[in-house]
Amino acid sequence: MPQTPAQTLPHDTDVLIIGSGAAGLAMALRLPDHLEVLIISKGALVGGSTPWAQGGIAAALGGTEDLEQHIEDTIRAGARLPKRDVVERIVRAGPAQIAWLESLEMPFTHDQEHPDRLHLTREGGHSRRRVAHAADHTGRSLTETLVNAVKARSNITVLEHHNAIDLITARRLGETQDACLGAYVLDIKADRVVTIRSRHTTLATGGAAKAYLFTTNPDGATGDGIAMGWRAGCRVANMEFIQFHPTCLYEPRAKSFLISEAVRGEGGVLLRPDGTRFMPEHHPDAELAPRDIVARAIDAEIKRLGIDCVYLDISFKGREFIETHFPMIHRRCLEFGYDMTREPLPVVPAAHYTCGGVMVDEHAQTDIPGLFAIGETSHTGLHGANRLASNSLLECLVTAEDAARRVAELPSAPPPQASAAIPPWDESQVTDPDEAVVVTHNWDELRRSLWSYVGIVRTTKRLYRARDRINLLRREIHDYYAHFRVSNNLIELRNLVEIADLIVRSALTRHESRGLHYSKDFPDTNPRADHFNTVLVPAPARPYPQVRDRGRSTPLQD
Q: Which residues are catalytic?
A: 291
Which residues lie below 8 Å from residue 546, measured CB to CB, with a gap of 6+?
Answer: 553
Q: Is the separation of the CB atoms in 536 and 235 below 8 Å?
A: yes
Phi, psi (deg, nearest 5) at residue 464: -65, -35
**What CA–CA distance (Å, rounded) separates 36 from 155?**
5
**What CA–CA distance (Å, rounded) separates 410 from 200?**
10
- How far CA 404 is from CA of 11, 16, 35, 373, 394, in Å, comes to 21, 12, 11, 11, 16
**Could you give the count of Cα atoms lying within 13 Å of 99 in the half-sphere of its Cβ?**
7
- How far CA 446 is from CA of 42, 387, 471, 504, in Å, comes to 22, 25, 10, 12
Query: What amino acid is encoded at 297 in this protein?
Result: A
Find how far residue 552's CA is from the centre of its chain: 30
Q: What is the DSSP letter of 243?
A: E
**What CA–CA distance (Å, rounded) separates 252 from 309?**
13
Size (the chain), residues? 558
**What CA–CA distance (Å, rounded) separates 465 from 159?**
40
Q: What is the DSSP letter of 538?
A: P
Beta strands in 461-553 (DSSP E): 535-536
Phi, psi (deg, nearest 5) at residue 340: -70, -10
**Could you give the count of Cα atoms lying within 13 Å of 513 in the half-sphere of its Cβ?**
15
Reduced to 3 states, what is the DSSP secondary structure of residue 12?
strand
Which residues lie below 8 Å from residue 200, measured CB to CB, with a gap of 6+?
Answer: 14, 15, 16, 180, 370, 372, 407, 410
> Is the Cα torsion angle 54, 299, 237, 67 positive or negative in sign?
positive
Find how far residue 533's CA is from the centre of its chain: 19
Which residues lie below 8 Å from residue 106, measured CB to CB, with a gap of 6+?
Answer: 134, 141, 142, 145
Q: Which residues pair with 18 in a beta bridge?
A: 40, 203
> Is the Cα torsion angle 283, 288, 291, 296 positive or negative in sign?
positive
From the list 377, 370, 382, 475, the residue with the least C-alpha distance to 416 is 370
Q: Which residues pair with 402 in a beta bridge?
A: none
Q: Is the separation of the CB atoms in 359 and 236 below 8 Å?
A: yes
CA angle, 397 then 293 then 247, to 5°: 70
- How far CA 555 is from CA of 6, 172, 367, 462, in Å, comes to 17, 9, 20, 34
**What CA–CA distance (Å, rounded) separates 29 from 24?**
9
